[in-house]
Amino acid sequence: MRQKRDAKDKIYALYTHHYLQDEAMKRIFIWMCCLWSGFLCAAPNVILPDAQGVDHRADEFIGQGRWMVVAIWSADCAICQREIPTLAFFHDEHKGKDADVVGVVIDTVAERERVRRFIDEQGLNFPNLIAAPRDVAHFGGGAFSGTPTYLLFSPKGELRFKHVGSLDAMALERRLKQLKAKETPSL
């Protein structure tokens, strides 16, 4: 985290330096920041247990050549109770082709049984990892700010989209289509 802050401070210092007063240099600077932002938001390197207690590295899922939706949720969240089960359909539609889903449950490991019941009752067919709210920052989307939170990572593992709050499956489909179009080079 400190390395990211130091990098941002250095970038800001460059931007405010007098060499960036002309428009051409500003454009080059913005282009370089876009390249850096992809680097700084690369696939997270955090280890979290799943509902069965097996540890997984987040980068086992993210940056594996497909788009990845990371849905941060809680079993107590009313919006999550309504929306997270619909991600099973999204996951079925895209799994193994162009996108996958992984859930990150912010209920504690001590509540693992309740989380497991929710996953079973709702038929969640995608992996779900258990994390503390402070662990959410490791995914590159900033500090935890509420559930549900949706993060969308590119096939290379770069964070491309963050949404806090309600987001239905159709809106997620539209956003994925938009992002895929931006990533596809035009001929």
> Residue ranges per domain, the chain?
2-40, 47-183
Q: CATH class for domain 47-183?
A: alpha beta
- Residue 66 CA to residue 97 CA, distance in Å, equals 7
Tokens representing 65? Answer: 């050549």
Residue 129's CB: how many other CB atoms inside 10 A? 24
| Local confidence pLDDT in tens for the 187 residues of the chain | 445 555 555 554 544 454 445 555 554 444 344 334 443 445 567 899 999 899 999 889 999 999 999 999 999 999 999 999 999 999 999 998 999 999 999 988 788 899 999 999 999 999 999 999 888 888 888 888 899 999 999 999 999 999 999 998 899 999 999 999 988 765 5
